Amino acid sequence: MSAPDMATLNADTIVDFIGDIFTRRGAESYLGEQVTMSQHMLQAAQLAELSGASETVITAALLHDIGHYTNEFPDDAIAQGTDNLHEEAGAQVLAPFFPAAVTDCILHHVAAKRYLCATDPNYFGQLSEASVHTLNLQGGPMNALEVTTFAKEPNLDAIVQVRIWDDQGKDPAVTTPNFDHYAPMIARVVAAHQKDTP
């Protein structure tokens, strides 16, 4: 899928745009996991919701992998041994409409995996085989300097938590609400950001 024409997106259309992605492409496979892309993202959102997270963080959990649909890399880029930089693509598309608390979680959820591998001795063992494969493509665990720098991220706690839900949201037996359940929440997050943006 080619990068969307940003000229056609605005605060009034972004939720429908995202919903259309879930409808048309949500059934696609998720990088060798046992769930589809939509199942994965909806599971992450459900985990966030059940934990009592804020609507902003729930939205971040839901949209953390949206960049798999909004960049210009082929769908099999990772299978070919290429990091498709989906985190950057997703954050870039959503940045005009969402607060940094959402886009930071999207932009840094890959780095958060590298961070946790370097700082939590138990974390690596919890990764799926597919996630270990992408870790290698993404640079492996952070070095000490990278850890120190990453730890200064202003939304670090939310970024790390979204990463953990990302790792947990891969159970084919789990039933979740569909996108429509979250659409009003996303709209509220967008509206609040537009109100706060000069």
What type of residue is 171? D
Q: Please compute the mean of the pLDDT values over residues 144-161 and round it to a whole number.
A: 98
Q: What is the CA angle 28-32-33, rounded to 5?
A: 85
Q: Which residues pair with 29 in a beta bridge?
A: 36
pTM of the model: 0.86
pLDDT of 1 above 50: no
Quick one: pLDDT at residue 74?
A: 40
pLDDT tens-digit profile of 11-51? 999 999 899 889 988 888 776 788 998 999 999 999 999 99
Q: Of 124, 130, 129, 165, which Cα lies nearest the Cα of 41?
A: 165
For the chain, the structural domain boundaries read 27-196
Hunting for tokens 């693509």 — which residue is that? 89
pLDDT of 144 above 80: yes
Q: What is the CA angle 61-145-94, rounded to 5?
A: 30
How many CA atoms within 13 Å lie on the side-chain side of 34? Answer: 10
Question: In whole angstroms, what is the distance from residue 159 CA to residue 102 CA?
Answer: 9
pLDDT tens-digit profile of 72-117? 334 443 344 433 455 677 888 889 999 999 999 999 988 999 999 9
Q: Which fold has domain 27-196?
A: Hypothetical protein af1432 (1.10.3210)
| Average pLDDT along the chain | 87
Quick one: pLDDT at residue 86?
A: 58
What are the tokens at 81? Answer: 């041994």
Hunting for tokens 């909004």 — which residue is that? 70
